[in-house]
C-alpha cells in the first residue's frame, strides 16, 4: 500500500473523533490535507463544525472543501486539533514543521483540549532528531541568532549542521508569519524537553518544531492496519 493511502487511512480514523458542533484545529501537510478533505465530505453531508486553519495552505483547502472557518480571536478554545507530524517518539513527543507551519500549528494545538496526530507508521521513531528540527527565526540579526542556537544545541549535547531553509526562488523560505527557518540536522536529540525549553530562551527564535507533551493521541497507519497510541 502506498504511503499516501496510509496517510488517508489515519486521517479517516481521526474523523471518528469529530462530533457535531465541535471547534476544530486544522493541521498542515499532506496527511492533514486528507483530514480536511474527508471532513469537507462530512460537512457537505450536514456536519456542523467550525475550523481554525494552521496555515494559509490549509485555509485555502478548507475553504475549497466548504468548511466554515473562524479565528482564535473569535472563539476561546478548540475542542480538538488534528495534525500530522514529521517524527513521533514513544512519549508522543513530536518533531513538526517540515511544511513550515510550526508556529501556527503550536498556537492552535496549545489552544485545543485535545491534539490527535495522524501519520503513516514510518513517522514513529526510537529517538527524535533524524528529521531536521525546524527552528523559526526573525530575519533581523540572523547570524547572531544562529550563533546562539548553535551554543544551545551544543549545551544540550546535540551536534550537526544548522541550515537556512531555502524557498522555491532560491532565497530563504518565508513562513506565513514572515519569518525564516533554520533546520537543525542533529541525527539524535538526547533530551527533547530540555532542548525545547532552552531554544525558547534564545532571542530571535520565534518557535521550534519540538512539540513536547502536546499530543494526546497518535493514530499510525501501517500495512497491518491502524494503531492508536494514547498518552499514559
What residues line the site for ligand 5RP (CB under 6 A)? 27-32, 83-86, 96-102, 105
Catalytic, 105? Answer: yes
- We find the least distance from the C-beta atom of residue 25 to ligand 5RP, in angstroms, to be 12
The answer to whether 92 and 215 have CB atoms below 8 angstroms apart is: yes
The nearer residue to ligand 5RP, 148 or 211, going by C-beta atoms, is 211
- Quote the least distance from Cβ 173 to ligand 5RP, whole Å: 11
In 3D space, the residue among 198, 199, 184, 205 whose CA is nearest the CA of residue 128 turns out to be 184
DSSP string, 61-85: HHHHTT-EE--TTT-S-BSEEEE--
Return the C-alpha cell found at 94. Answer: 513530536
Task: Pick the closer one to ligand 5RP by CB: 117 or 148.
Answer: 117
Shortest CB 229 distance to ligand 5RP, Å: 17
DSSP class of residue 122 equals G
Name the catalytic one among 87, 105, 136, 207: 105
- Number of Cβ atoms within 10 Å of the Cβ of 89: 18
> CB-wise, 36 or 148, nearer to ligand 5RP?
36
How many CB atoms lie under 10 A from the CB of residue 173?
16
Please list the active-site residues.
105
Amino acid at each position: 500500500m502506498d504511503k499516501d493511502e496510509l496517510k488517508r487511512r489515519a486521517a479517516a480514523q481521526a474523523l471518528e473523533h469529530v462530533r457535531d458542533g465541535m471547534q476544530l484545529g486544522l493541521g498542515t501537510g499532506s496527511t492533514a490535507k486528507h483530514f480536511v478533505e474527508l471532513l469537507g465530505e462530512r460537512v457537505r453531508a450536514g456536519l456542523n463544525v467550525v475550523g481554525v486553519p494552521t496555515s494559509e495552505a490549509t485555509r485555502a483547502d478548507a475553504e475549497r472543501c466548504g468548511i466554515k472557518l473562524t479565528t482564535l480571536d473569535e472563539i476561546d478554545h478548540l475542542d480538538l486539533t488534528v495534525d500530522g507530524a514529521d517524527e513521533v517518539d514513544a512519549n508522543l513527543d513530536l518533531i513538526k514543521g517540515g511544511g513550515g507551519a510550526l508556529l501556527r500549528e503550536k498556537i492552535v494545538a496549545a489552544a485545543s483540549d485535545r491534539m490527535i496526530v495522524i501519520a503513516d507508521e514510518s513517522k514513529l521513531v526510537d529517538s527524535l532528531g533524524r528529521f531536521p528540527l525546524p527552528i523559526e527565526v526573525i530575519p533581523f540579526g540572523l547570524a547572531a541568532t544562529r550563533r546562539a542556537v548553535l551554543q544551545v544545541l551544543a549545551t544540550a549535547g546535540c551536534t550537526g549542521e544548522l541550515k537556512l531553509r531555502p524557498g522555491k526562488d532560491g532565497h530563504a523560505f518565508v513562513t506565513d508569519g514572515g519569518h525564516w527557518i533554520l533546520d537543525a540536522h542533529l541525527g539524535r536529540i538526547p533530551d527533547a524537553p530540555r532542548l525545547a525549553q532552552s531554544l525558547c530562551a534564545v532571542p530571535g527564535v520565534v518557535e521550534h518544531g519540538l512539540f513536547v507533551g502536546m499530543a494526546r493521541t497518535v493514530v499510525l497507519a501501517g500495512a497491518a492496519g491502524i494503531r492508536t497510541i494514547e498518552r499514559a
